[in-house]
Homo-oligomer: A and B are copies of this chain.
Amino acid sequence: MPTLDEINRFRPAEFSRAFGAVYEHSAWIAERAFALRPATGFASRAAVHAALVATVQAAGADEQLALLDAHPELAGKEAEAGALTAASQREQSAAGLIGLTSEETQRLRALNARYRDRFGFPFIIAARNNTRAAIFGALEARLHNTRAMEINNALMQVGEIARLRVFDLIEA
């Protein structure tokens, strides 16, 4: 696992390789974030994360929606087919979302379908920060929001997923 000092000596390709999987199927974020490296280098793991978040927040609305769309549904088809990214697999497992009863799976899929119908992108939540009960409750609660609100909430959750992954990828 690289230290901050090592990361601060990375060339662009190494930085992209190290952090390309932090955002689901969206390696362009790490590629673009390299340019935001401070002249004196990243001072903390939080600073690396901040460069990634700033890249997403400064991206176009179409790019942001594509990023949301690149996320798997919780306990969805990708999970069933074993097609989750390694990080997503770990996170969904930790939240108790792998191995739901078939009744729970059906309820979650029905809620996911309502969410996608309403907003046009999958429901996204940082699974490591929520128990299974909290995830069900949050999904139901967020169905009460507008699309503009949910784009903000989804991008915020994506940023938190990224933070937890980045902190895991850099020597403390």
Contacts and interface: CB of A to CB of B under 8 A. Distances in A.
Interface in A126-156: 126, 128-131, 133-138, 140-142, 144-146, 149, 152-153, 156
Contacts of A138: 137-138, 141-142
Interface residues of A, number: 44
A38 interface: yes
Contact of A133 (B36, B43, B141): B141
Contact of A129 (B47, B133, B145): B145
A159 to B, nearest CB: 7
A44 interface: yes
A58 interface: yes
Nearest to A46: B57
B163 A149 contact: no
A51 interface: yes
B156 A160 contact: yes
Given A47-B58, A137-B144, 10 more contacts: A39-B39, A43-B58, A46-B54, A128-B149, A129-B149, A129-B152, A129-B153, A134-B145, A137-B137, A156-B157
25 contacts: A38-B38, A38-B39, A39-B40, A46-B54, A46-B58, A57-B163, A126-B153, A129-B156, A130-B141, A130-B149, A130-B153, A131-B144, A131-B146, A131-B149, A133-B141, A134-B144, A134-B145, A134-B149, A137-B137, A137-B138, A137-B144, A138-B138, A152-B164, A156-B159, A156-B160
